[in-house]
Chain A
Amino acid sequence: EDKVVQSPLSLVVHEGDTVTLNCSYEVTNFRSLLWYKQEKKAPTFLFMLTSSGIEKKSGRLSSILDKKELFSILNITATQTGDSAVYLCAVETNAGKSTFGDGTTLTVKP
């Protein structure tokens, strides 16, 4: 059975802090790992990672994949209150199905 585990489950920080969110996985026929941000409603796409060691970056957010150790991290630097959300990690297999982790709830206090 495919499994995706995110840690921590929740995190409270203050504006300006840097956070690291973790995602580990055990799946058959890994294809890609995706990060999504979920505020009130629908998850929105952040990054897709397919190769080890190549950092994807968008503004203050960055992510990297380690296919040998089967994990990914999502870093957010200089956090802002607008970063408060649930961050979801999903792993897609060659069968085309995505398995999601339970998410990390990030709260950024002013």
Chain B
Amino acid sequence: NAGVTQTPKFQVLKTGQSMTLQCAQDMNHNSMYWYRQDPGMGLRLIYYSASEGTTDKGEVPNGYNVSRLNKREFSLRLESAAPSQTSVYFCASNRAFNSPLHFGNGTRLTVT
């Protein structure tokens, strides 16, 4: 009964380093999403995947890449981290468009 699992929970990077955030869901959902949340702000969509094999840009895609590895897994990659990417990252999934999102517990990323 895990729902949406994100790893790692915390990460500190130096400017220019790369890393991949992992996300997996066990609810057989078709659509998956990556959001970032900055202090005092709502969630902004980075990338989403409507179904296995497809990905699309969201509101703030610059500096990120994604891979929908299979139906369960959707990863987010930072190729060259910048301090402006310091944020909390949430992965989410839903059965289809027009259904509620289920969120993971987030990854707190700090870039120094």
Contacts and interface: CB of A to CB of B under 8 A. Distances in A.
A90 B27 CA distance: 22
B31 A42 contact: no
Interface in A87-107: 88, 90, 92, 96-103
B105 A41 contact: yes
Contacts of A8: none
Contact of A100 (B43, B105, B106): B43
Interface residues of A, number: 25
A4 to B, nearest CB: 8
Contacts of B100: 34, 45, 48
Contacts, number: 58
Interface of A: 4, 6, 9, 31-32, 34, 36, 41-45, 48, 50, 88, 90, 92, 96-103
B42 A92 contact: no
Interface string B58-82: 1100000000000000000000000
Interface of B: 4, 31, 33, 35, 40-45, 48, 50, 58-59, 90, 97-106
B58 A88 contact: no
State the main secondary structure of chain A at its contact with B: strand
B66 to A, nearest CB: 15
A42 B103 contact: yes
B98 A92 contact: yes
Given A43-B103, A103-B41, 17 more contacts: A4-B42, A31-B97, A31-B98, A41-B105, A42-B90, A42-B103, A42-B106, A43-B90, A43-B101, A44-B103, A48-B100, A90-B43, A96-B31, A96-B48, A96-B97, A96-B98, A97-B48
State the main secondary structure of chain B at its contact with A: loop
A42 B104 contact: yes
Contacts of A34: 100-101
Contacts of B106: 41-42
Contacts of A100: 35, 42-44
A2 to B, nearest CB: 9
